Every structure is written in C-alpha cells, then in structure tokens.
Amino acid sequence: MAVIFKLSLSYLSRNKIQNALIALLLLLSTLLVSTATVILANTGNQFYEMHTRTHGSHQILTFEKGLNDPDAVHNWWASQDGVQVSPLLTYRTFSGIILNETHIPNIYLYMFNTPPPPWGVDELIFSSGTPDTVPEQGSVWIPTSMANAYHISVGDTIGFKTGSSTLELNVSGIVIDVPYGAPFSNTARVWMNPADYQHDLATLAGNENRMMGIHFNDYSMNSVYWERYNRETGIPFLESKMEFEAIASFYLIINQVIGFIMIFMGVVMLSIALMTIGFTIADAILANYRTIGILKSLGLTSRKTIGTYVIQYALISIVAIIPGLALSIWISKWIINISVSSLRVGNQNIPVHGLDAAILSGVLLFALVILFTVLYAKKARSIQPVQAIRYGMSETDHGRMAGKMNSPWAHWIGFTRLPVTAVLGFRHVFKNTKSSVLTLLLATMASSVLVLGYVLLTSITGIEQTAAKWGYDNANIAAVVVNKGNFPKTVLKHTLEEDTRISNAGWQGNTTGVISPESSATVKGQSLSLNLSVLDGSYQELGFETLKGGNPQHANEIALGVSVAKTSNKDLGDLIDIYIEGEKRTFLITGIYQAIANMSVSGRITIDAMRSVNPGYSEFDVIFINVNDMAQAGKVASELNEQFKDFASVVTQKTLLDSVYAEAANILIYPMSLIGLLFIIVTFIIIFSTCRINIRKESRTYGIYKSLGMTSRQIRLSLTMGMFILSSVGAILGIFVGVYLLPLLLEMVLSGYGIVQLPLILHWGGMVLFTCLSIIAASLGSWFSSRIIREASPRMLVIE
C-alpha cells in the first residue's frame, strides 16, 4: 500500500500543472452542475412559500365594465365553505409616475383606498418601512417589483398625474404584493391612506373600480365552485378574471429558463470533464508505458497499478469538489436572489433549499470520477513488460501509430504539397485522434453556449423587432386608456383621422369567453375561460401574426392561442362554441397563434363578433397606431400623450416593450455570462492539458525537428495552427447548434408559457464575434502548452 501511495504522490508532483488544471476543471464542473441543481430545486419554492405565507389569491376578479354587481359577487363567494375572499377593494387607475423630476410613462397603477386589516387574503408583507394598519397621510406603500425596477427607496417622493395637476406622495413602505409583484411587470398596486384617497382621488372625473381576491383551500376545485356560481346566480361572470397560473408564471419562468440552461450545460461540461479525465489517464498510461512495464516486471500487480491512478484522482477530486460545492451554494444564492428579488424581505437573503441535492451531486461527481478512473486505468492490465520496454506501447498500437501518416487519407490531403509547418500542425491533429475529437466537441459546445447566450439576450433586448411573434401587435404606437369613464373617444378618433402622419389605427378591447365542456377536450364537467381580444380594425394591418392560418376578418371567425387549441383539441377549420357575456356563439377557427401574455390562453375576434352579442360595446383598452414615417413615431406619441394625458398613456411600441423586458434581460445576463465564461475557461484548460500530454509523448520527435533546424517558435506555431483550424471547424458547428438545436430544447420549457416557437433575432456578426472567443481560448491553450518545447534543448528532448 505504501508503494502505491508513493507512486500516486510521484504522479501528482511530477505533473503539477496538468493535475492542477484537472482539479480546476472538476471544480468548475462541480460549480455548474451543483448551481443548476440548487436553482432547479428552488424553482417555484420562494413563490409558493410566499403565496402560502400571505394567504395569496388564486384568482383576482376585477370589476371595470359594469357587467356584474361587485357586492353580489363578493357576498356569494364570501358565503362559500372552503373559500376565503379579500375585502372588496376600491381603486382608480393611473398611468405613469414622476420620479426625481423624470417622467416614467409606461407604468400602470391601481391606486387603492387601503382598507383596515385583517384582509384574510393577499396580506402584505413589508420588505422595508415600518409596518402599520394603513399608510400614513401623505404617503403610499408600493410593491417590491416597482421599487426594484425604478430604484425607489423608503423616503423617496413619487409624483402621480391627476389630470392637470400632480399629486406628490412619500413612500413609507415597500411591500411584497404577490398577485401584482412579479418581476418585469409594468402594472402595480399602490396603497393610499383612506383620507388621501377621499380628498385627492374620489372627486376626480371617471369611475371608481372594484377588485377582490379569492383563495381556495383546494385550488383544483375552483371549476366546481364556478359551475355552482353560474348555476345559482343565473348570471355568468363577465368581468375580468386573472388565474393563478398567470399570477405564478412570471415568477417562475426566469428561474426555469436559467435552471434548464445551466443543468443542460452542466451535464455537457461534466461529460467533457469525465472524457478529459479518461483521456488524461489513458495518455498518462501510454506516457509511462515503459515505467509501468518495468514495475510489473519487478512484481507490481495490475490491481496495484490501477490503484495508483485511483488514489491520484481521488485526492484531486476531493481538493476540487469541496470548494466547488461551496462556491456553487454561494453563486446559486446570488442568482436566486436576483431572479426573485421581488420576494425578498428587506436585505435578508431568500432562504435557499436543495443544499442536500447539491452535496449529493458532488458525491455523485466524485463517484463518477472514481468509476471513470477505474475504467480507463484498467488498460494498464494489458501491458506486457517486454513490449513496453521495447516500443513504449503495445506492439499493436505501435504498428497502428506508424501507419496513420501513411494512410490513403493522409495522401489524399496532400501533405507532401503543403509547407512543413502546416504538415506538422495537421500531423499533430490526425495522429492524436482522441484529443482532436475532444477538442472538436469542446469547441462546438463552447461556441454553441456563447452563441445561445448572445442570441437570447439580443432577442429579448430587441423584442420590438419580433413583438408579433411573441403574441403582441406590431403597431408603432400604443395608447393605453387609463380613465375609461371620461375618455374622449370621439375626439381622439377625429384627431387620428386628421393627422396626415398617421396611416391607420385599431381599437382593442378585452372580454372573457367561456368554452363549455361539450366543445372541448377538457376534464369532464370543467369549462375553460379565455381572454378574448376584440379589435375594431385590421389585425393584419396592425401586425398581429399567427403560427398557422390567419387572423379573423368576419363575425363568425376566431384565432385561438396555442394553449387553448391544445386544451380544447381544436385545429384550423374546426368549429368551436364560446359563451360571450352569457350568449353562445359558434366560430370558425381561422388561425392559431402563440402569446406569452396570458400564456396563450386567449383568442382574437372582430368587433362585429362582439357587437353581435353587445351592440353598444365600446370598452376599448388600447388604441394601436401606425405612422407613415417610423422616424416620426416618437414625436407623434409625445404630442398625443400631452393632448390626452388625463385619459391615456401614449408611448411608442419600443418604450412599451422595453419597460417590461429590459429587466428580464438584466436578470438573464449574469447567469449566461457566468456559463459562457466557464466554458471559455474549460476550453482553455482542456486544450492546454491534452496538448501538453501529446507534446510530452512526442518530445523525441520535436527534439529531432529542432536538431534539423526548425525553431521552437516554428514548431509551436505549427501546433497552434492545427488547433486553430480544428477549433474553427468546431466553432462553426457550434453556431448551428446554438441557433437551431439548443433553442429547440428551450422551447420545451417555454411551451408551458404559451411560446412553442422561440422568436430569435440573429445578428451573424455578433455571433461570429462571440464564437471567436472559443477559438481564441483553444489556440491560447495550445500555444501556452507548447512552452516546454521552447524551454528544452534538442538533446534533452531526444533523451526524453
């Protein structure tokens, strides 16, 4: 045993740099795999725990259209067993805030008359500020999502536009408001002092609206309650209803995307790490072939020979995995705190679960290293002392190695017609097949990761270019109505018609449709509610897209979101019965589209379809506007916003989308940068390690080259050129993997959120630039590993 241990220590001390690089590679593999494990283990935990802690709503009912009596609905639900309801909250809608003398237009606010506690549902938890029953006079409570997005702290003053004047209120509390506190949301609930509300808002023109939250003891029974509601009241619920899935979706989507990408890349990196360890062991055995042969001739058994490598890599693994686990826990906490920052209480870190899973992944990694060590070290069993001493390898391997460069493949390439430096570079690549395949695979994966990260961030930051593919319109300007009671529709319509800069406009409203169980493939006895978009205008002109078919043009046509089409088992050309405001209408499905809003649980109908049910329908929420000259969009939006600022918020499409998705890009950039950096480091480490092994194996050959007149620089450039060409081929393959293969895997995650075809923006220049990072890393790894050629004399190289 002492002999085995001493041999293991000698291997460790003799190849310090190589063993240190393998340890670093294992550390990084542990870091990525364990971090991904913790993130996946925590996906949804923080949200569900906070939802339980606040007794959060499963459904939010909003009364803005006057189609249902809020008091009657509230009383019915309050009387049900197994259901809790919030107080009937009174609010007015505002648009935009003034912060530090800067006007921020694209944030939509529900200004609430705060009721005294207890509420029973959606209890607020203070992240900062002093808890109280209601806000103090002259102050408001705002949600963490709004505070984080605009960097607002307790004590700051926010200005709210109330017609021609501005209402300034201090922030006395920042609260966790689960239903309206998701990240990258541009809608927030602001809680006012009752006296301030009565004095400053109750006298304003327009209607007050009502809202209530419903919490089910068993959420799966919600459809049973709604069936009972429809049966007992005789009046279907026709106002807006926000489902629990919509509340949860934006809390979960970022962590699921990050976790999915990290676990996939972690598995890839782990596979490469294990392959590298196996390759290193195999070549270490080959490099020490004569020594092992001599030791076996002196009585060292095969089992003890294998044991020397097991001890060596067990020590390396222990040194690498333990700090890797510690770093992974720290990094996973950092990423989780960023991605669900709206659920943090004060400066406290969000409790992280799954640490046992991270430790288990470390133990599994250690076991895999030992297993691969044994599997590859078993090659030492076949070493024959006589062949080892004579050839430095088995006689079979010696013959195969000698014949490689004389193969028809080598003649086809035409080595005899190439410069000597090129021949040397290609010889290094073709002779060391295993390391070349590993290099090709590594360059491909590193390039694909960098390209995917770049494409994802580019696609999110430039989402205005693909807005229609995410389910939004593609109009140049959007006017969001915030004061429906006094909204001067006729004046705005006349203004739009008279302005020669405007090419067309469309007026969009929303209503709720219900698909009965008889018309769908849903669970028996359950109906399906969907958000129906009602457009007075042309879907085509405003840029709404579909995956299949087209948008509706007539009163009997409808386009369905992919989630609805899948749930109801409907396709193009099918008929579907939908209840709108309690009346049954039969529609022909003309198109199927995807939309991240409402998770594709939605549909599109024309204004004619809506007016066949309600002839006086005029509840429009948004006006989409196209201009003749895109350069004029900002100016037109600014002028319209100033003219109708008391009733609507008018912004360009880019402003509207950036306010929602800029935060998503900011959250994604950190983990994607981390993954990309790790793959660049790993590429360098593996190429350095494998090239160093190969150079040591052929030290005698390079000594002969130097003795014949080649300089160390020429030899090193030749080796680096071969690695540059090989990694370039891998990088080119990586571009296609990152653009066409990895997004398919990501779509598996996003399909649950209504996106089945990920809209990507491809800037080939940027992709090539990021791909070059993997090529540079591989080339530098090869260049630095060949320093031993420069440092050794020809005589010493030949002696080795």
DSSP codes joined into one string, 759-771: -----HHHHHHHH
Beta strands 209-216 and 83-85 are: antiparallel
d(CA 12, CA 390): 26
- For residue 150, the SS3 value is helix
d(CA 23, CA 685): 10
Strand ranges in 64-152 using DSSP code E only, listed in sequence order: 83-85, 89-99, 102-113, 125-129, 139-143
Low-confidence ranges of the chain (pLDDT < 50): 384-396, 398, 405, 409-410, 412, 522-525, 800
d(CA 553, CA 542): 13
Joined together, the tokens standing for residue 581 give: 């405001």
pLDDT number for residue 620: 83
Contact (Cβ atoms closer than 8 angstroms) between residue 671 and residue 332: no
d(CA 376, CA 605): 64
d(CA 402, CA 389): 17
pLDDT number for residue 145: 85
Residue 648: phi, psi to the nearest 5?
A: -150, 160
Picking from 354, 220, 332, 264, the residue whose alpha carbon sits closest to that of residue 748 is 264
Strand partners, 110: 93, 189
Contact (Cβ atoms closer than 8 angstroms) between residue 110 and residue 189: yes
d(CA 105, CA 645): 10
Picking from 472, 476, 474, the residue whose alpha carbon sits closest to that of residue 652 is 476
Classify the C-alpha dihedral 427-428-431-433 as positive or negative: negative
Q: Radius of gyration of the chain from Cα atoms? A: 33
Joined together, the tokens standing for residue 27 give: 């550390």
- For residue 215, the SS3 value is strand
Amino acid sitting at position 430: F
CB neighbours of residue 64 within 10 Å: 19
pLDDT number for residue 389: 44
d(CA 720, CA 187): 55
Taking CA atoms, 233 is separated from 72, 323, 597, in Å, by 9, 63, 31
Strand partners, 167: 160
d(CA 396, CA 559): 68
Contact (Cβ atoms closer than 8 angstroms) between residue 512 and residue 530: yes
Contact (Cβ atoms closer than 8 angstroms) between residue 56 and residue 179: yes
Joined together, the tokens standing for residue 776 give: 């540079």
d(CA 194, CA 188): 18
Amino acid sitting at position 460: I
CB neighbours of residue 497 within 10 Å: 10
* Terminal alpha carbon distance of the chain: 29
H-helix or E-strand spanning residue 21:
helix 16-42
d(CA 95, CA 187): 9
Joined together, the tokens standing for residue 597 give: 């809003």
Helices assigned H by DSSP within 578-652 = 607-611, 633-643
Amino acid sitting at position 381: R
Taking CA atoms, 387 is separated from 292, 381, 395, 693, 698, in Å, by 11, 13, 6, 21, 18
Picking from 428, 325, 511, 389, the residue whose alpha carbon sits closest to that of residue 715 is 428
Contact (Cβ atoms closer than 8 angstroms) between residue 460 and residue 661: yes
Neighbouring residues of 289: CB distance < 8 A, sequence distance ≥ 6: 383, 388, 391, 392, 393
d(CA 436, CA 404): 14
Question: 101's torsion region: left (phi>0), alpha (psi -120 to 50) or beta?
Answer: left
d(CA 303, CA 307): 6
Joined together, the tokens standing for residue 295 give: 């030791």
H-helix or E-strand spanning residue 623:
strand 620-627
Helices assigned H by DSSP within 340-488 = 355-377, 385-391, 395-404, 408-413, 420-431, 433-461
H-helix or E-strand spanning residue 230:
helix 222-233
Strand partners, 557: 588
d(CA 234, CA 249): 32
d(CA 158, CA 173): 13
* Polymer length in residues for the chain: 800
pLDDT number for residue 93: 82
Contact (Cβ atoms closer than 8 angstroms) between residue 86 and residue 122: yes
Residue 62: phi, psi to the nearest 5?
A: -120, 125
Joined together, the tokens standing for residue 230 give: 């429809």
Contact (Cβ atoms closer than 8 angstroms) between residue 564 and residue 589: no
Residues 91-115: pLDDT tens digits? 988 877 888 877 777 788 888 999 8
Buried b / exposed e over 40-55, threshold 16 CB at 10 Å, is bbbbbbbbeebbeebb
Residue 309: phi, psi to the nearest 5?
A: -75, -35
Neighbouring residues of 109: CB distance < 8 A, sequence distance ≥ 6: 93, 94, 95, 97, 160, 187, 188, 189, 190
- SS percent in the chain: helix, strand, coil, step 5: 55, 20, 25
Neighbouring residues of 662: CB distance < 8 A, sequence distance ≥ 6: 184, 461
